[in-house]
Structure 1
């Protein structure tokens, strides 16, 4: 059989590579790539008939609760507009016995915020935050078990969760406003003064035996929680849920000596902690995008497409005429298929570096990320490769070989349509962005051998 002949020849000959450049540019001559005739029966060929359509999708929402990382701040970028990150959480009475002497006097009430190590944006500039008391209980969104009248189920949805678009009402007057020059790489803990009036009230209620300060459930009704909102600067910072707490300082007289005392109100119900991401695209190249609306081709967004964690922006990649490859290349002769993604020039360095890792998601006509693309039993990911002479902006290489071969083996080969964004976990708990050139940044390279 011809296929057996090919396998025998390939065992003794150098493997031939055909680079099918899927872009809006012409491919190289095969002889220039060393793909010319090597044997009377084996030769390299190439095609440039396929195209890649690149656009930006703006998701309706994604779950951002229970990530363990609180994000707050803002930054503005000409490609992705302004993203404003706010975090919402509850604090509780704490465990163990707590007694307060009748002569106890209030000292201060503070919020302890250790850095988590996460940051994005210009951390050399000062950032400003407001802290507000919540005016209502944090209430998660419960998904219907059926989706006939909703969007198709997304890997970024979750039942009894809170989303990047969720909101919880707050008391208008801030409990505190503070400005810092961040040091996110350190293990420092910020100690932010809260309202003296609130702290004095807590201590007075405790001394009086009020159930709002003696019963955990009553306390959450009395004090539903806090919101931290960025109001100035150009960076988003992370703070760990597990180590954040409100601390009440007061003084008691013990054996005739004034003694400093503290009581910690740590975060409770971590599944209800969530990060809100409000995005303003008005002054960016993506101004025409509508949340939950139709994708915008790169040709209509200044030639670029953007993926941004947290906000719901993803890059949509479509190869509409994949079926035409099947008539030229038997799927079993494909040696390797690589999707190469390069950041737009001068968009991957500080203060907005490219994400360390990107992933691909299956999708449909609704442009919802249904599931991460799999390579066998592993989620398909690609790490960012640092710039070099051939790739001055760096790149991501996705090995699509098994996936593409299976597509081409189908009787009716569908269009190849994927969404590009960081993997699920970093996409839900960050604000990193990637900008690509809609015509030059994304190429599908297919290597295979043929026989005459």
Structure 2
């Protein structure tokens, strides 16, 4: 993969010329004329990357969707997503209707989105909960609830996101479905409580070996169990009644790094050098994995003769990937935050020349290139200038997805970043300095 150099070329040129004329160089412009200066480029400053694991729990019951699936990676291990939901009751007049007969009972769930491979068959397992969820209760990614050992239903299918219905439909076994229908007709099921006594709820799991997560929108007006029935007249008119899911379905996310290079991460203070993990570091919020960045020799780099000042400082981070269609997109945005020995987030690193905004970079790539050229470019001019002047400490930084960009979906996105020794994608600190010509 070629180096990601041209994304901001025009902006860079403008910044350089602007810095020459108006940059804060701590020199007297009346003594040195702009045409007597020259711009030099330095990219030899050492940047060290390491992976840290900062334990984190987050609410998943506030999301409209539940995730089901798994992702296995030789470096980050196994991530598993299980969904949990209970059903609500819909008031109806079924007991008062005459001349109707049962047809079928179908579990219907709208697709929300997918992450990963949807070209192969997806194996869905649906278990019954041992007790219903409390409607509207708060649940976190670290939580689970008890469910039956044997699946109630097994179904394999290829996700059809482009279909007209955009949903998965699973027929419930007739014996169970007819029992439910009978209790509706007899009024034994006539409330949320009696509904929960019968169903309790569902646990959604997957045994698919493929790297894929499916998100089902259980808050949709079309998601729930739908009863199909007909009248006994010659027309046999078809009817249906939907029993939706209760509010507050949630997703459990588990991670197993056993047997990987990252299994040594046990405490928040641990940090694994990128040199021990195939010259790469990681950002994967759903697994609490982040990249720690240190620039130990920032104040000791070899400055050119007659050095006058720093015009522009850019930190370039390149994800290790070959194609933007690889089903594993990196986060749309990453931010830099000062951290400590506990790898805690202290405050945002100031960005740009003024330092009035946070250091946040958007993932970008050059289209129509034979080899992928992509990356994140952070403007750290203000921060680096302050360190060079002794106005700020040279503190380590943590690379994370900004909290404002975090959703259940974005937490699944991962960035694998190359260090300076990586053969295809490398981290670099690019300094553009002014010296006396």
Q: Give the corresponding residue for 1:82.
A: 78
Matches within 5 A, 1:370-385: 375=351, 376=356, 380-385=360-365
| 1:177 and 2:154 correspond | yes
Q: Name which of structure 1's ranges 9-18 and 243-252 shifts more when overlaid on structure 2.
A: 9-18
For the residues of structure 2 that align with 1:214 and 1:433, how far apart are their CA atoms? 46
Q: Give the corresponding residue for 2:122.
A: 127
For the residues of structure 2 that align with 1:410 and 1:73, how far apart are their CA atoms? 50
Deviations 1:159-186, CA, capped at 9 Å, x for gaps: x843332212112222211112234455
- Count of residues in correspondence between the two structures: 400
Give the alignment partner of residue 249 of structure 2, picking from 273, 277, 302.
Answer: 273
For the residues of structure 2 that align with 1:419 and 1:180, how far apart are their CA atoms? 38
SS where residue 91 of structure 1 aligns? Answer: coil
Q: Give the corresponding residue for 2:180.
A: 202
For the residues of structure 2 that align with 1:16 and 1:169, how far apart are their CA atoms? 65
For the residues of structure 1 that align with 2:149 and 2:52, how far apart are their CA atoms? 34
Query: 1:393 and 1:18, CA in 2 relative to 1: closer, same or farther beyond 3 A?
Result: closer
Query: 1:68 and 1:406, CA in 2 relative to 1: closer, same or farther beyond 3 A?
Result: farther
For the residues of structure 1 that align with 2:280 and 2:317, how far apart are their CA atoms? 13
Q: Is the 8 A contact 1:357 1:422 kept in 2?
A: yes
Q: Give the corresponding residue for 2:420.
A: 439
SS where residue 219 of structure 2 aligns? Answer: helix
Q: Is the 8 A contact 1:322 1:415 kept in 2?
A: no
TM-score computed with the length of structure 1 as normaliser: 0.74
Shift of 1:81: 2.3
Q: Is the 8 A contact 1:279 1:311 kept in 2?
A: yes
Shift of 1:110: 1.8
Query: 1:359 and 1:200, CA in 2 relative to 1: closer, same or farther beyond 3 A?
Result: farther
Q: Is the 8 A contact 1:71 1:86 kept in 2?
A: yes
Query: Could you list the runs of 5+ residues in structure 2 that have no partner in the other structure?
Result: 1-23
Give the alignment partner of residue 246 of structure 1, picking from 220, 224, 243.
Answer: 224
Q: Give the corresponding residue for 2:393.
A: 413
Q: Give the corresponding residue for 1:396.
A: 376
Query: 1:2 and 1:352, CA in 2 relative to 1: closer, same or farther beyond 3 A?
Result: closer
Query: 1:10 and 1:177, CA in 2 relative to 1: closer, same or farther beyond 3 A?
Result: farther
Q: Give the corresponding residue for 1:289.
A: 265
Query: 1:321 and 1:7, CA in 2 relative to 1: closer, same or farther beyond 3 A?
Result: farther
Deviations 1:16-73, CA, capped at 9 Å, x for gaps: 2443x3xxxxx3xxxxxxxxxxxxxxxxxxxx3xx32211122323315123333211
Shift of 1:80: 2.2
| 1:214 and 2:237 correspond | no
Shift of 1:260: 2.6
Matches within 5 A, 1:45-64: 48=45, 51-64=46-59
TM-score computed with the length of structure 2 as normaliser: 0.76
Query: Could you list the runs of 5+ residues in structure 1 that have no partner in the other structure?
Result: 22-26, 28-47, 142-159
Q: Is the 8 A contact 1:354 1:384 kept in 2?
A: no
Give the alignment partner of residue 167 of structure 1, picking from 116, 122, 144.
Answer: 144
Q: Is the 8 A contact 1:115 1:186 kept in 2?
A: no
| 1:302 and 2:278 correspond | yes
SS where residue 402 of structure 1 aligns? Answer: helix
Shift of 1:237: 2.1
Q: Give the corresponding residue for 2:88.
A: 92
RMSD: 3.9
